[in-house]
Structure 1
Amino acid sequence: MEPSELRRAVEAGRAIASEVGLRVDDVVVVNNSDRVALRLVPCDVLARVAPSRHLADSEFEVQVARRLADVDAPVAELEPRVEPRVYVRDAFAISLWTYYEPVETEIAPADYADALMRHHAVLRQVDLDAPHFTDRVAEALSAVTDRRQSPELPDADRVLLSSTLSELSAAISVDKAADQLLHGEPHEGNLLHTKRGPLFVDLATCCRGPVEFDLAHAPDEVEQHYAGADQDLVQRCRAVTWAMFSAWRWRREDQMPDRDHWRVEGLNRVRASLNRCELG
């Protein structure tokens, strides 16, 4: 968020937490993009604050978290001291979560794969109405094909992203027999290393598809430890996920930090992924 919007988001998060009886003496910005994560102290709560246009996504995320709490999934939990819901204040949607002190070591690929396998096993037990991953691909494709949304995207790169998103995702989704509920974006930024073990966050991306779609978001080494994974399908999914990532970076309103770097890097990752699966 831009500085003025970020200040309003911080105040909205602080105000809501105070209103529901949590003590807030200070606010630390943990992450700032189009949405922000705030650590509220001394109550030690994580507030996720998004512009109200993302209200439906925030409500879906809370719904997913509530369902997964019943089946002991390896995910971050909603704050137990307050009502599990989304609060709205000053054009922001706010949800309150348990804050986990991070463990300052990397998660080993085998442990990463184990957490993802356990998460997938739990998700197979949950009956939840979630979009198919191709619905999310369609949103990314819309950002690419609509020049008003991505006016700075070069023509050659527009063709690259468009063909990758449309043709490759269609090929991946031909056989839906093995589709299941997924996290949607279990990349390193969405997996916390805590004293409880690895925990997934950012549950609003939950969707249906092959487990390889989730694996494509993880570091390359993780797929080697995930039993039964189709390595070729992982590579195709990785090309699609990087194309989706690139599509978001080229949107006019995207606010990811260091966006110019990631615009170039994202396109490079798409090409590298296509070459690895011999589709470039």
Structure 2
Amino acid sequence: MEPLELRRAVEAGRATASELGLQVDDVVVIHNSDRVALHLVPCDVLARVAPAGQLADSEFEVEVARRLAAVDAPVAELEPRVAPRVYLRDAFAISLWTYYEGAESEIAPTDYADALLRHHAALRQIDLDAPHFTGRVAAALSEVNDRERSPELPDPDRELLSDTLSELSAAITIEKADDELLHGEPHPGNLLNTRRGPLFVDLATCCRGPVEFDLAHAPEEVAKHYAGADHALLHRCRALNWAMFSAWRWRRDDQMPDRNHWRVAGLNEVRAALDRCGPS
């Protein structure tokens, strides 16, 4: 968020928590993108504040968290002192979560794989209407194929991304018909190392697809400890994920820090991942 909007978001999060009886003397911005994460102190609450246009996504995330908490999934929990819902204030959608103090050590690949296995097992216990992963691929493909929305993408790279997104999405869908609920983006940035153990966050990305789509977001070493993974399919999912990542970076309005670096690096990762897939 831009500075003015960020100030409004911080005040919306602070005021909402205060009106719910939580003591807020200070607010620390933990993450700032299209939505922000705020640490409210001393009540020790994490507030997620998004533009009201993302209300449906925020409500979906809260519903996913509520259902997963009931089956003991390794996920961040909603703040128990307030109602488990999304609050609207000053054109922002605000949800309140338990704040977890992160551990200093990195998460070992075995622990990462175990958390993902337990998360998938918990997801199989809930009934939830979630979008298919191919919807996300289609959104990335529309960015690549629209020159006005990705004007700086060179033609050869545009063709590479377009072919990779369309062909791999179709191939994965045909190859793996037994889709299930997934986290959607269980990359290291969405896995907290807490005193309770690894916990997944950012649950709004929940979708349907093969478990390999999730596993492709994790470090490569993790897959060695995830029982039953189809490694050929995993290579294709990893190439697809890098193609989506690259598509977002070439958007005209992308705000990722160091975007120019990641534009080049993302395309290199796509080519490397395709090489590991072998001949189609």
1:106 matched to 2:106: yes
Q: For residues 25 and 44 of structure 1, what CA distance do their matches in structure 2 show? A: 11
Match of 1:153 in 2: 153
Match of 1:220 in 2: 220
Match of 1:85 in 2: 85
Give the alignment of 1:190-205 within 5 angstroms: 190-205=190-205
Q: For residues 94 and 245 of structure 1, what CA distance do their matches in structure 2 show? A: 27
The gaps in structure 1 that reach 5 residues or longer are none
Cα drift, residue 255 of structure 1: 2.0
C-alpha contact 1:34 1:254 (8 A) present in aligned 2: no
Cα drift, residue 178 of structure 1: 2.4
**Superimposed CA distance per residue, residues 151-182 of structure 1 (whole angstroms, 9 cap, x where no aligned partner):** 22222221111111111110001044321100
Give 3-state SS (helix, strand or coil) of 1:119's partner.
Answer: helix
Match of 1:249 in 2: 249
Cα drift, residue 25 of structure 1: 0.8
**Superimposed CA distance per residue, residues 17-68 of structure 1 (whole angstroms, 9 cap, x where no aligned partner):** 1121111111111111222111111111111111222111111101101111
Match of 1:179 in 2: 179
1:124 matched to 2:124: yes
State the 4+ residue runs in structure 1 displaced beyond 3 angstroms: none
Change in 2 beyond 3 A, CA 1:100/1:15: same
Match of 1:39 in 2: 39
Q: For residues 97 and 62 of structure 1, what CA distance do their matches in structure 2 show? A: 9
Match of 1:8 in 2: 8
Match of 2:144 in 1: 144
Aligned residues: 280
Match of 1:18 in 2: 18
Change in 2 beyond 3 A, CA 1:266/1:178: same
Q: For residues 211 and 95 of structure 2, what CA distance do their matches in structure 1 show? A: 28
C-alpha contact 1:182 1:209 (8 A) present in aligned 2: yes
Q: For residues 76 and 201 of structure 1, what CA distance do their matches in structure 2 show? A: 6
Q: Which moved more, 1:264-273 or 1:202-211?
A: 264-273
Give the alignment of 1:62-77 within 5 angstroms: 62-77=62-77
Cα drift, residue 213 of structure 1: 0.3
% same residue: 80
Cα drift, residue 196 of structure 1: 0.4
Q: TM-score, normalised on structure 2? A: 0.96
Cα drift, residue 254 of structure 1: 2.2
Change in 2 beyond 3 A, CA 1:152/1:90: farther
Q: TM-score, normalised on structure 1? A: 0.96
Change in 2 beyond 3 A, CA 1:51/1:259: farther
